[in-house]
Every structure is written in structure tokens, then in C-alpha cells.
């Protein structure tokens, strides 16, 4: 595939008179629409602007490369415009931008087009080539300039591969490098090209690994790293540094590599770079020095949520299948496991669910402290799910979702603290820190922390149970609202479990009030996933592409009374999501009580609706509560920022 397969004549506009950055973006998107790359221009523009908020895509030298991944992209493509007089695009070098390429990538797995786009980025590092494009008079001339340059580049790459296959000649000027940016589309390859061109000019032999969106290209081998005199890491995101242990390493950003490759190579040449000693830390150049505490915490949280999501979805759907295949009439209290086939599906789904909280906590801790944090966070999440206390180490009162969040952050910062303390240890002990000291002491400390947190949750449960028992003799509508809201507050945590336990106790009374209480509890637990699913379809700009893809699955989970389907969304934005779901579920619980709906089964979701008393109004309560929750999500949540 050639660059001109993605950049067509109709997607080029020369000598454009754009007043500012926004006008340039609009023109480039208009060209994408014209050639049929987009199905929703406004949605794609949101992805472009979200990327610009993370840092300008004007890379300097008069060039800007706005780019975005979005479900609004039908097919990958590039559009181009020139603005000869230049506009302010917040360039890295402060100069006006005159040449613009906009990359539209579908929000799917990486494809061949990413390799082609990386080639375009490297070509743009040649300023004479860029100037020819700015001076082009027609789209045909513009494309011809690209074709000729691409042919030269392909020939040079072929010669480079041939030389690499030939017997190596000894050299004392061997370098290796890695470049990486968050999207892996533009800056990754431009930084690599800048380093390669400058190294060649200065007489160095260099190989650069490009950590792109389509995966790593030109991956460094262990032998190449061992032979290198120094390593240059130009990265704006986390990369694995363990393979560079004992090597002289220069750590920089892609911006530094693009605009100052000579300085980085000279530093490598001088031998002044520090020898890198790996302690399990994943390193990035900037390390988000300018990020707020809240933004850093959000990144850690999302690392846990993204890894947890497959367990929630896979386990939830399997449990829903178990309900679908089971026979409710055999034993209502054991619904989901009455038949062998249903029990098999439920056991597998339950196993997946069992990993959910440890995975959440483990990967939050890993984001904070890298691999040593994973084990500590994982254990903390497990203890949150089992409810270990000093009195009952094997499990007593689970703190569930909220406890796992605490475990993830506490576990990560425990390991960071241990790393700081261990700096005073002799270098000879460096190797045992990540394999002995961090996991041993970290696991012990997180165990102590969780044995302190879980009893607090137990006391809270006991108090809540007493309060609910007292309320059961008062207003049943208020009680229904409270029980429904509790089911949505922490989704598997102490409030949710306290409400559910109260419902089970009420069923034992075998009276209408007890059955009404159970109905209110189940409808309150069904609302959160359904409200999420509706909101992801109606308020698309409030959710990331990954969240929108997973959204419809929550219809299945909600209808199956699997409240945990909403956990990833609540974890990602608890301050806005939980209040929305709290109110929606509270409304549903109150309406269920007001309509005097009853339920004699402790679970089952839509699969036990045939035995629900006043089922039509029960559906009304479910629908109204879900819509209230969805609308509040649309109002309270901020627009999502795509990565």
C-alpha cells in the first residue's frame, strides 16, 4: 500500500485561506467527508479536539499532523491542505504552520494503513520535501511529489535491509533507541526518523524501535542491545525498561528527539549518560510532570478498569446464560444452578467475576509502581473480595468494589514507599528488591491495611441493617427508594450487600411486605447497567470509544440482575456516575413499592418476571428508573477525552 492509496486528489486543497486552527481542522474534516472516509463528521471532530487537548499536533518546521481514532471513521485515510501564509497552531517550535495532513483512523485493531502513515511521518522530516509540498500548485503535483519521495524512501529502506544482512563491521559508535507516543501514529515515527537521519549524518550506527499503534516495529534484539554503547529512549508513554538494565540510557521526550536529535546523540557519544539499573519501574520521558494529581489518579484508575472490563463482561454474560437455561420451578432460591448445564455456565461466569476485584486493584497498583505493585494490589483486591479481618483471616466481611479501589491505590503507594526506603541498601542487594523485598513486605502491609478496612465495613453493614429494620414499619415508598439507591451506590460493596441481605431476611417472613422489599431491591440492582447502556447510546460524547463498545452488553447484565456491569463506568468517573445511578435506582425502588410489586425469588432478573406480582408496572418502574439514571449521566458527566 502506498501513501497515495490513503491520500486522494479530492482530499487535497492548496492555498487555503483559514483564519485559525479551528478553521483548518474544519477544512480537513470537510475533505474527509468529501472522499467518504467519515460517517459522522462531528463525532470525528471531537476525537481530533480531544487529541489536541493533550498537546498540539503541530510538530514544528511549518507542519501540523492532526489525527484521531474514532468509530466515526469508515475507512482510514489522509487529507491535506496548505496555508502558505501560515496560522498559529500552537507549534512545538512556535512558528506558524503551513502544511497540514489530517489522519483519520478507524477505532479498531491496527491495520496496514498505520505502516503507510508512519512512512508519511518520516518523509515530512525532510524540510526540502515539505517545502515542495507547500509550493505545489495542483493536487496532481502534490501527489507526484509524494510518489517520487516515497519511491526514494523505499529504495533507501531496501538498501538499509541489504546492508543489515551483510556481515557487520566492528564499530564503537553503536546506538539503539526506542520512540513511543500515546497514539503511536505521528510523533513516534517522526522522532525515530530524526534520530536515524542525524545519526547517519554524524557517523553513528543506530537502530530505533518504533512503538507504534500497530505494534512495535524494528524491535531491538537482546544482542543489539548488548552491543550498543548507549540507548536513547524518546517516549511520551510507558515502555518496558527492564531490557536496558546495565546500559547507559538517555531518557527524553519525542519532542526532544524531533527537534534536538543531535543533542541526544552527542550526550550518548560523550559517555556522560547514567547507567540504568532496573528496579521494576516502567519509565517514560516526561513522567507526566505537568499533570495534576487528579489526572494521574485517573490514569491509574483507568489502567485497573480497562483490565477488569473483560472479566466483568465475560463473566456477566455467562451468568446471564445460566439464568436463561435454568428451570426456576425446581428451586427458586437456587435459580441459576438448578440444572447441570446452567450450573456449569454459572460456575465459569462466577470464576471470571471472582477475578474482577483483584484485577482492578492489581492493575491500579501496577500503574503506580509497575510490576512490583501488581502482586501487592492483586492480594489487596482479593482480600477486599473475601473480607479478611484479624478475627477471620480467611474471610468475613467483604469491602468489595470500594475496598478494591482503596487496595489498588494503597498497594501501589506502599511499593513506591518501599522503593524509596530501599534506596539506602547496598547495590549488591539491588536484584532482590523486586523479587523479595517489595512483594514480601508489600503483601504483608496491604494485608494489614485490608484487615483494618474490612471490619469497618462490617460495622457499617450491621448499623445499616438495624436502620432498615426500623424503617420497615414506616413509609414503604421511602424504604423502597432507599433500598433501590443502596443497590446502586457501591455495586457489590457494603451498602449493596446490606440491602440485599435485608431483602433475603425479609423473604423469610413470607408476607407481602417482604416480597415487596425484595422486588424493590432487585429493580434497584437492575437499573445501573441498563442506565449505562442507554446513556452510551444516547450521550455518545460522554463516553470513550471503548466504553461505547461495551455499553450495549450492559442491557444483558442489567436484565439479568448483574449490577456489577456498571462497575467499570462507576470506577472511571465515580463522582458523576454513582450519583446518577443512585437516583435512578432510588426512583425505580420507590415506584416498585408504590405499585406494590412483589417478588418471591432472591434473584434472576428478567428470567423471574413471570412470577413477579404486578409485572407490567414493575417494567414501568424499571424503565423510568433507567431513563432517569441515563439522563442524569448525560447531564452530570463531562465529555470524554479519547486517548
Residues with active-site annotation: 67, 181
Collect all residues with Cβ–Cβ distance below 8 Å to 52 and sequence separation of at least 6.
Answer: 21, 66
What burial class does residue 332 get, using C-beta atoms within 10 Å of its C-beta: 0-12 exposed, 13-18 middle, 19+ buried? middle
Phi/psi class of residue 203: alpha, beta or left (left: φ > 0; alpha: ψ in -120 to 50)?
left
CA–CA separation, 113 and 293 (whole Å)? 36
Helices (H), 179-244: 187-201, 222-227
Grid cell in block for residue 11: 482530499
CA–CA separation, 498 and 466 (whole Å)? 10
Half-sphere exposure at residue 13, Cβ-oriented, CA atoms within 13 angstroms: 18
Phi/psi class of residue 174: alpha, beta or left (left: φ > 0; alpha: ψ in -120 to 50)?
beta
Q: What residues form DSSP beta bridges with 87?
A: 97
Grid cell in block for residue 148: 517520487
Q: What is 172-195 written as a DSSP string?
A: S-EEEEEEE-SSSSSHHHHHHHHH
3-state secondary structure of 83: strand
Half-sphere exposure at residue 625, Cβ-oriented, CA atoms within 13 angstroms: 38
Chain center to CA of 140: 41
Phi/psi class of residue 522: alpha, beta or left (left: φ > 0; alpha: ψ in -120 to 50)?
alpha
DSSP state letter for 625:
H
Amino acid at each position: 500500500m502506498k501513501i497515495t492509496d490513503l491520500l486522494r486528489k479530492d482530499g487535497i486543497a492548496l492555498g487555503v485561506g483559514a483564519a485559525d486552527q479551528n478553521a483548518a481542522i474544519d477544512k480537513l474534516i470537510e475533505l474527509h467527508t468529501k472522499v467518504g472516509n467519515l460517517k459522522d463528521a462531528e463525532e470525528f471532530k471531537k476525537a481530533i479536539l480531544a487529541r489536541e487537548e493533550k498537546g498540539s499536533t503541530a510538530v514544528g518546521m511549518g507542519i501540523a499532523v492532526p489525527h484521531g481514532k474514532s468509530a466515526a471513521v469508515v475507512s482510514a485515510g489522509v487529507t491535506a491542505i496548505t496555508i502558505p501564509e501560515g496560522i498559529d497552531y500552537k507549534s512545538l517550535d512556535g512558528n506558524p504552520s503551513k502544511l497540514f495532513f489530517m489522519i483519520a483512523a478507524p477505532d479498531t485493531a491496527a491495520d496496514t494503513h498505520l505502516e503507510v502513515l508512519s512512512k508519511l511521518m518520516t518523509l515530512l522530516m525532510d524540510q526540502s520535501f515539505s517545502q515542495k509540498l507547500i509550493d505545489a500548485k495542483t493536487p496532481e503535483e502534490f501527489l507526484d511529489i509524494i510518489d517520487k519521495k516515497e519511491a526514494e524512501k523505499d529504495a533507501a529502506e531496501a538498501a538499509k535491509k541489504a546492508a543489515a544482512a551483510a556481515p557487520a563491521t566492528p564499530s564503537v559508535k553503536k546506538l539503539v533507541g526506542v520512540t513511543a507516543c500515546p497514539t503511536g501514529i505521528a510523533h513516534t515515527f517522526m522522532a525515530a526518523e530524526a534520530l536515524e537521519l542525524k545519526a547517519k549524518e554524524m557517523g553513528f550506527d543506530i537502530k530505533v524501535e518504533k512503538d507504534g499503534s500497530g505494534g512495535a516495529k524494528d524491535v531491538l534484539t537482546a544482542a543489539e542491545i548488548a552491543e550498543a554503547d548507549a540507548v536513547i529512549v524518546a517516549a511520551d508513554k510507558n515502555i518496558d525498561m527492564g531490557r536496558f538494565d546495565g546500559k547507559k540510557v538517555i531518557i527524553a521526550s519525542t519532542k526532544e528527539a524531533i527537534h534536538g536529535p543531535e543533542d541526544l546523540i552527542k550526550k550518548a557519544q560523550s559517555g556522560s549518560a547514567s547507567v540504568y539499573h532496573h528496579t521494576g519501574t516502567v519509565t517514560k520521558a516526561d513522567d507526566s510532570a505537568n499533570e495534576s494529581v487528579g489526572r494521574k489518579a485517573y490514569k491509574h484508575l483507568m489502567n485497573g478498569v480497562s483490565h477488569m472490563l473483560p472479566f466483568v463482561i465475560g463473566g456477566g454474560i455467562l451468568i446471564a446464560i445460566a439464568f436463561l437455561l435454568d428451570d426456576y420451578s425446581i428451586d427458586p432460591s437456587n435459580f441459576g444452578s438448578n440444572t447441570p448445564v446452567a450450573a456449569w455456565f454459572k460456575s465459569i461466569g462466577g470464576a471470571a467475576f471472582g477475578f474482577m476485584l483483584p484485577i482492578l486493584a492489581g492493575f491500579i497498583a501496577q500503574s503506580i509502581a509497575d510490576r512490583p505493585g501488581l502482586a501487592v494490589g492483586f492480594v489487596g483486591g482479593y482480600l477486599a473480595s473475601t473480607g479478611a479481618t484479624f478475627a477471620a483471616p480467611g474471610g468475613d466481611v467483604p469491602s468489595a468494589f470500594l475496598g478494591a479501589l482503596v487496595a489498588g491505590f494503597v498497594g501501589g503507594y506502599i511499593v513506591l514507599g518501599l522503593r524509596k526506603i530501599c534506596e539506602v541498601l547496598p547495590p549488591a542487594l539491588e536484584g532482590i528488591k523486586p523479587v523479595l523485598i517489595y512483594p514480601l513486605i508489600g503483601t504483608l502491609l496491604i494485608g494489614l491495611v485490608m484487615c483494618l478496612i474490612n471490619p469497618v465495613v462490617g460495622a457499617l453493614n450491621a448499623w445499616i441493617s438495624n436502620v432498615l429494620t426500623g424503617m420497615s414499619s414506616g413509609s414503604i415508598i421511602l424504604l423502597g427508594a432507599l433500598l433501590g439507591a443502596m443497590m446502586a451506590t457501591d455495586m457489590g460493596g457494603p451498602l449493596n450487600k446490606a440491602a440485599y441481605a435485608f431483602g433475603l431476611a425479609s423473604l423469610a417472613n413470607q408476607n407481602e411486605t417482604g416480597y415487596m422489599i425484595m422486588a424493590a431491591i432487585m429493580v434497584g440492582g437492575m437499573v445501573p447497567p441498563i442506565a449505562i447502556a442507554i446513556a452510551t447510546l444516547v450521550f455518545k460524547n460522554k463516553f470513550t470509544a471503548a466504553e461505547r463498545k461495551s455499553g450495549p452488553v450492559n442491557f444483558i447484565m442489567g436484565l439479568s440482575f448483574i449490577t456489577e456491569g456498571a462497575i467499570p463506568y462507576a470506577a472511571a468517573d465515580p463522582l458523576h456516575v454513582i450519583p446518577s445511578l443512585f437516583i435512578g435506582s432510588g426512583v425505580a425502588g420507590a415506584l416498585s413499592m408504590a405499585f406494590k410489586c412483589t417478588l418471591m425469588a432472591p434473584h434472576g432478573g428478567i428470567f423471574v418476571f413471570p412470577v413477579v406480582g404486578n409485572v407490567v408496572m414493575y417494567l414501568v418502574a424499571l424503565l423510568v428508573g433507567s431513563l432517569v439514571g441515563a439522563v442524569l449521566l448525560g447531564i452530570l458527566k463531562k465529555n470524554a477525552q479519547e486517548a
